[in-house]
């Protein structure tokens, strides 16, 4: 990229064994926030390259001075570059943490699906792999995520672990507040979390009778968790269903959607019924709550 010096780059290399259904391409995206981890559009792509016949690939990509979260993904032949496959054996992506001058490596074991455990190159990524494995288990509780944050040397891993907590007890909130006090208060990945758990002298608030302030914080917390609940439901959609939702929200009719995607009208109607069922909506107007998830 023009104007980007070596000191502003990080390196990514890897070796993958892909069947003939996969394109010989790879893509690197920078996630500006945790809400973007399962969002896909071409503007997020910061680097790309070819995979050689032996499965090797490498690229230098623009990196930030401090840790940032990135996504590496591959695509099947004929799929758009921004395609993301979630929740199946054909999952096509992994996440990694990098900063300037880091060297990250990914390796896919032949015969096995693309796996987060294939990322290596720093202690932060070891912690990230562990965290994402725990996050994929529905039985992982708040105390486990808090423990990960407490022991991690990476603020980014810590913040991501805290973002996975839900319905904390008062004692758990105190532990999280103590952890966040050690973090950079201007870390962009922690903006919402730091605001939610901003260290405040609650006794002074109580004595001063600042009921309004407490009410505002409660509303903010409700909206924060509601946003996460909506995002969790959104991730249940397939890539095709996400595309159809995007076209519907842009004002296209079912017939126009069919023409845009080159599929039958009956197929569009089937997809729309499935989308409504997954998202718990009854009509197009109800889909507006998902509008900000469309890139």
In the prediction, which pLDDT does 201 show? 35
The pLDDT of residue 244: 87
Check whether 179 has a pLDDT greater than 60.
Answer: yes
Q: Is residue 114 within 8 Å of residue 141, measured between CB atoms?
A: no
Task: Provide the pLDDT for residue 23.
Answer: 96
Q: pLDDT (tens digit, 9 = 90+) per residue, 13-70?
A: 999 999 999 999 999 999 999 999 998 888 999 999 999 999 999 999 999 999 999 9
- Banded pLDDT at 234 (limits 50, 70, 90): low
Beta pairing, strands 9-15 & 56-62: antiparallel
Distance CA(205)–CA(140), nearest Å, equals 34
Query: Per-residue pLDDT for 290 more than 80?
Result: no
Helix, strand or coil for residue 105?
strand
Q: How confident is the model at residue 275 (pLDDT cuts 50, 70, 90)?
A: confident
Share of the chain above pLDDT 70, in %: 83
User: Which of 120-134, 167-181, 201-215, 249-263 is predicted with the least confidence, judged by mean pLDDT?
Assistant: 201-215
CA distance to 33, 66, 251, per residue, from 133 (Å): 19, 24, 39
Look up tokens 């054996």; give the residue.
Answer: 89
Q: What is the mean pLDDT of the chain?
A: 85
Mean pLDDT for the stretch of residues 254-263: 90
Q: Which residue has the higher pLDDT, 226 or 250?
A: 250
Are 237 and 245 in contact, with CB atoms under 8 Å apart? Answer: yes
CB 46 within 8 A of CB 11: no
Residue 198 predicted with pLDDT over 70: no
Q: What is the mean pLDDT of residues 185-203?
A: 74
Task: Summarize pLDDT for 104-118 with one digit per residue, the tens.
Answer: 999 998 889 999 999
CA distance 185 to 82: 32
Helix-, strand-, coil-residue percentages of the chain, each rounded to 5: 45, 20, 35
What mean pLDDT comes out for the span 119-147?
94
């Amino acid at each position: 990229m023009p104007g980007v010096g070596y000191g502003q780059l990080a390196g990514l290399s890897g070796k993958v064994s892909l069947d003939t259904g996969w394109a010989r391409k790879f893509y690197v995206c920078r996630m500006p926030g945790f809400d973007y981890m399962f969002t896909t559009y071409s503007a997020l792509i910061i680097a790309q390259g070819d995979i050689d016949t032996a499965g090797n690939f490498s690229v230098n990509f623009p990196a930030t001075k401090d840790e940032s979260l990135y996504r590496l993904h591959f695509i099947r032949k004929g799929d758009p570059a921004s395609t993301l496959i979630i929740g199946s054996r054909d999952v096509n992506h992994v996440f990694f943490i990098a900063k300037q001058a880091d060297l990250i490596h990914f390796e896919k074991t032949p015969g096995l699906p693309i796996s987060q455990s294939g990322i290596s190159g720093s202690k932060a990524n070891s912690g990230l792999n562990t965290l994402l494995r725990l996050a994929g288990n529905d039985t992982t509780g708040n105390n486990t995520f808090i423990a990960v944050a407490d022991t991690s040397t990476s603020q980014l891993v810590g913040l991501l672990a805290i973002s996975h907590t839900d319905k904390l007890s008062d004692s758990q909130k105190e532990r999280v507040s103590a952890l966040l006090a050690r973090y950079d208060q201007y870390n962009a990945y922690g903006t919402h979390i730091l605001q939610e758990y901003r260290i405040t002298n609650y006794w002074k608030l109580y004595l001063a009778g600042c009921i309004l302030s407490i009410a505002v914080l409660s509303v903010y917390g409700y909206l924060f968790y509601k946003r996460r609940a909506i995002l969790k439901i959104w991730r249940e959609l397939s890539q095709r269903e996400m595309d159809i939702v995007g076209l519907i929200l842009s004002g296209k009719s079912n017939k126009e959607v069919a023409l845009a995607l080159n599929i039958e009208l009956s197929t569009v109607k089937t997809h729309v019924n499935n989308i409504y069922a997954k998202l718990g909506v009854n009509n197009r107007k109800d889909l507006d709550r998902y509008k900000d998830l469309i890139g």
